[in-house]
Structures are given as C-alpha cells and as structure tokens.
Amino acid sequence: MTPTSELELSDMIKAVNGPLRIVGGGTRPIGHVMGEVLSTAALSGITLHEPGALTLVARAGTPVVDIEATLATQNQRLAFEPMDHRALMGTSGQPTIGGVVAANISGPRRISVGACRDFLLGVRFVDGAGNIVKNGGRVMKNVTGYDLVKLMAGAYGTLGVLTEVSFKVLPAVEAETTLTLSGLDDTTAIQAMSAGLGSPFEVTGVAHDPAQSLTHFRLEGFAASVAYRADALSKLLAPFGIMQDTAGDWSAIRDVTAFAGKTGDVWRISVKPSEAAALAAKIGADAVQYDWGGGLIWALCPVGTDVRTAMIGTAGHATLIRGTGQTFHPEPAPLADISTGLRARFDPRGILNTGIMG
C-alpha cells in the first residue's frame, strides 16, 4: 500500500484487517515486524521552510537528503545530526524524515543540542483506527495540550503512521575543528570527555574509539570563536595529553561504520558516562565505541550475546539494533502496562508494526 494522501491513508487503515509493516525508506530494519507493507514514499515533499523562523515542515516520506539540501541553501541544518543506518545495517534506499522521527534518530551532536525529539515541533499522523490527528505545530514554544509530539518520536509507528513532521532547525556553522587525544584507556578517556563537556567551551561532539585509542572533541561556530575555544580546551585537558588537530570524521562516528560488514550483533546502550567503561568491559563485546561523552556505547558482540544480564545493577537501557533477539529493553511492569495501554488506545486492533516494541 502506498497512499498518496493523508485521507487515502486513513481510508486504507480503516479498511484493512491484518497487520501492517510501516516503511519509510526501509533503511533501518530495526525490530522484527510482519505484515503488509505500508509505504510512506508517496507522502513526500517539503511543505514549509521559513529560514527566519528556523522552521521546516515536511511530509513523512520526504528523503532526509532533500531536507538537508533545502536547508543548506539557507545555510541551515538539522542540528541533531540524524544517523544514516545504511552501512551498519547493510541496506540501500533513501532514509526518510518520517523514519528518523519514528525511531528518534540522533547523532553525536545530541549530547550538546538534544535529540530528534527535542527539535520536533509538530506531527500529523493517522492512528490505528484511521483517525487523522495533529499535535504540536510549527512554533518553537508550545505547551497547548499534551505533548503527543514526543510520544510519537521513537514510537516506531506503533501509535500511528506519521504523515507530516515539523522541526526547529538551526544555522549551519562557519567553522568546525576536531581535537584528538590519543593513548587513553576507556576510563581515562571518559574522564577527559566529562571534563570537556563540563567546560564552558561548547563541545558539540565527544567520542572515544578504543580500537585506535583516540578520543575526539568537536568544536563548532564562528571561526575566531572556535580557535579561541580550541586553545582553551587544549589547556584545560592538558593533564590528559597533547590535543592534536585532526580531520574528525564525524559521519563515520555517527553511522558507526567501524562495525559495518562485520559479523555479530550490534547493540546501542545508553548509560551514565561514568559507568560506561566498567559496563563495556563486562558485556562480552568484540568491539565497542563510545559517543555522547561515554553516555552512548555501540557494541559489536558475538551473535546471541546477552548484554542485558550484564547490565543488571547499571542504570540505562540497551537496544539490539542489528540481531535477532528482543529489540528493546524490557520495561518494569508498571511502565510496560502504561505502554501497552497507550498502544491499545491508539491502535485498538493492534495492526501497526505489531510486536516491534513489545
């Protein structure tokens, strides 16, 4: 099914009996869903870009690349730096903005500016009963009614099929510099990253690659300001070693390309940075890399590794991005009840991406 309008989508959902598998660009096969394919490909196009208001509105099936190109003409960007999963997942196709929202996909800059859900201003969607619902809008400050916008971000389509999304966008930057420390073990690297993030120098990306023992710090902004902060950060972090100016391949960090094509399960683990190194050491991973100053661990593990048992006693959660086990971290009973209750309300027949979240 490839609806060409919101109304058509609503009619299709009302008419269908069996489960639906909602697909944007099909580049992020996270979770395991059966059902007739419902494609958002024909719900495409940017409906509004108002550079002076830092606002962009697009239909859900719009390719991310189109949005980035449109924003670039006005020297703007999606600041949350959505990850491209194609290399890691071995997929092709064009990632769509609806897919980014449905999975709440962010990148390294999430640590400083926020996640996809923090930039999402409004949504339109069709719920599992075929109702057309809007929430939020196109303005940055809006507390009118419940924030279903956040609820829809990261709901993996289980509460409704997104048809239109609106975003706060930010100016692109004049300059970017990456400073790199080398030779640090994981624990020390995380201490260095925390020191950088705890400084006033506005670090916008902080990642550590244990395989090469490299710890990267990204600074962005006006050129003179970046130069000043680079100098200040180097002085602050001098106890951890000499910082080298490097090219800084942040799209490789964002897309976890180091694990592309390698056999094994890929886990995405969100924890407190200060507990990350100890956890990473005990999950039985073949390789790990740290983003968000240590708050995000990407782990490549032998197929079938039980990462979650190793996490008992550590606050956080693990998502199986690539592999055949349970995708999402099981929730404690009262929260699972709430989530089940919400899904039952928004999708009473249980037909939208059934089973993906539990």
Partner 1 sequence: MQMPIPDASVIEHKDQIVARLLAVLPRDAVIADVVETRAYECDGLTAYRCPPMCAVLPSNTDEVASVLKICHELGVPVVPRGSGTSLAGGALPTADCVILGVAKMNGVIETNYDDRYIRVQTGRTNLSVTGAVEANGFFYAPDPSSQLACAIAGNIAMNSGGAHCLKYGVTTNNLLGVTMVMMDGTVVDIGGAYMDAGGLDLLGVICGSEGQLGVVTEATLRILPKPEGARPVLIGYDSSEVAGQVVTDIIKAGVLPVAIEFMDRPCIEATENFAHAGYPMCEALLIVEVEGSDAEIDAQLALIMKIAAKHNPVELREAKDADEAGRIWLGRKSAFGAMGQINDYMCLDGTIPVSELPYVLRRISEMSKEFGLDVGNVFHAGDGNMHPLILFDANKEGDLELCEEFGAEILKLCVEVGGCLTGEHGVGIEKRDLMHVQFSATDLEAQMAVKDVFDPKWLLNAAKVFPLDASEPRRVA
What are the angstrom distances between the C-alpha of 194 and each of 3, 34, 183, 189, 205?
47, 42, 17, 9, 12
End-to-end CA distance of the chain: 25
**How near is the Cβ of 184 to partner 1 at its closest, in Å?**
15
Q: Which lies closer to partner 1 via its Cβ, residue 43 or residue 279? A: 279
Question: Of the two residues 222 and 244, which places its CB atom closer to partner 1 in the complex?
Answer: 222
The reply to whether 207 sits near partner 1 by the rule CB under 8 A is no
Q: What is the DSSP letter of 355?
A: T
Using CB under 8 A as the binding criterion, the count of chain residues that bind partner 1 stands at: 86
Tokens of 79: 């600041």
For partner 1, the closer CB: 135 or 177? 135
CA–CA separation, 165 and 8 (whole Å): 18
Distance CA 174, CA 171 (A): 9
Interface residue with partner 1 among 141, 235, 247, 263 (CB under 8 A) is: 141
Given candidates 4, 5, 131, 244, which one binds partner 1 under the rule CB under 8 A?
A: 131
Cα–Cα distance, 273 to 173 (Å, whole number): 27
Closest CA to 131 of 217, 272, 11: 11
Chosen residue from 145, 239, 261, 313 binding partner 1 by CB under 8 A: 145
Determine the interface stretch with partner 1 among 81-89, 243-251, 278-286, 292-300 (rule: CB under 8 A). Answer: 292-300
Nearer to partner 1, 44 or 191 (CB): 191
Q: Is 137 in the site for partner 1 (CB under 8 A)?
A: yes
DSSP class per residue in 146-170: --HHHHHTTSTTSS-EEEEEEEE-E
Judged by DSSP in three states, 16 sits in coil
State the Cα–Cα distance between residues 14 and 1, nearest whole angstrom. Answer: 13
**Helix and strand counts by DSSP (H, E) for the chain:** 13, 17
Residues within window 235-254 making contact with partner 1, judged by CB under 8 A: none
Provide the mask over 296-335, with x wherever binding to partner 1 is found by CB under 8 A and - wherever it is not.
x------------------xxxxx--------xx-xx-xx
Are the C-beta atoms of residues 84 and 27 closer than 8 Å to each other? yes
Segment contacting partner 1 (CB under 8 A): 26-34, 176-184, 251-259, 340-348? Answer: 340-348
Between CA 81 and CA 279 the distance in angstroms is: 26
CA distance 319 to 53: 35
Interacting residues with partner 1 between 67 and 106 (CB under 8 A): 74-75, 104, 106
**Under rule CB under 8 A, residue 132 binds partner 1:** yes
DSSP state of 90: T
Phi, psi dihedrals of residue 269, rounded to the nearest 5°: -120, 125
Residue 14 touching partner 1 (CB under 8 A): no
Query: Among 19, 29, 93, 114, which residue sits at the site for partner 1 (rule: CB under 8 A)?
Result: 114
Residue spans of alpha helices (H) in 64-115: 64-73, 86-89, 97-102, 110-113
Which stretch, 14-22, 233-241, 249-257, 339-347, contacts partner 1 (CB under 8 A)? 339-347
Candidates 85, 109, 117, 322; binder of partner 1 (CB under 8 A) is: 117
Amino acid at 82: P
47 binds partner 1 (CB under 8 A): no
91, 225, 246, 326: which one binds partner 1 (CB under 8 A):
225
| Binding status of residue 32 toward partner 1 by CB under 8 A | no
Candidates 53, 238, 278, 281; binder of partner 1 (CB under 8 A) is 53
Footprint on residues 148-167 left by partner 1 (CB under 8 A): 148-151, 153-155, 158-159
Cβ closest to partner 1, residue 16 vs residue 132? 132
